[in-house]
Amino acid sequence: MTLPALSQAGVAVDIDVGPPPVVVETPPPPPQVGYVWAPGYWYWEGHRHVWVPGRYMEPRPGHRWVADHWEHRGPHYHYEPGHWERY
């Protein structure tokens, strides 16, 4: 499976098909102390949802990870990519 690349440029994804229920994952031990778990999420692959498994990421000081997620907006579902947010 090919994972979507992270990028600064954004593309809005709005679809009429809601994602399946989130897959419950038990994270393995982190590769290093302080690493941040980014949970898995459903990614729209043009004609179907595909599960992208969770992964660990290096921490970013002064930031928290906001996970990839879908928002229900009226009759549509909008994909919000994961990103670091300053706290």
- Residue 50 falls inside a structural domain: yes
Residue 24, amino acid: V
Does 39 fall in a domain?
Answer: no
Asked if residue 65 is part of any domain, the answer here is: yes
Domain residues for the domain of 82 are: 44-87
Two tokens at 70?
A: 């879908």
- Identify whether 18 is part of a domain: no
* Selection from 66, 67, 69, 55 nearest residue 19 by Cα: 69
Structure confidence by residue, pLDDT tens digits, 10-45: 668 899 999 999 999 999 999 999 999 999 999 999
Per-residue pLDDT at 47: 94
Has residue 67 been placed in a domain?
Answer: yes
User: pLDDT (tens digit, 9 = 90+) per residue, 59-79?
Assistant: 999 999 999 999 999 999 999
pLDDT, position 6: 47
Task: Look at 80 and 9; give whichever has higher pLDDT.
Answer: 80
Task: Say what the pLDDT of residue 7 is.
Answer: 46
Residue-level pLDDT at 13: 86
Domain count, the chain: 1
Contacts of 60 (CB under 8 A, 6+ apart): 36, 84
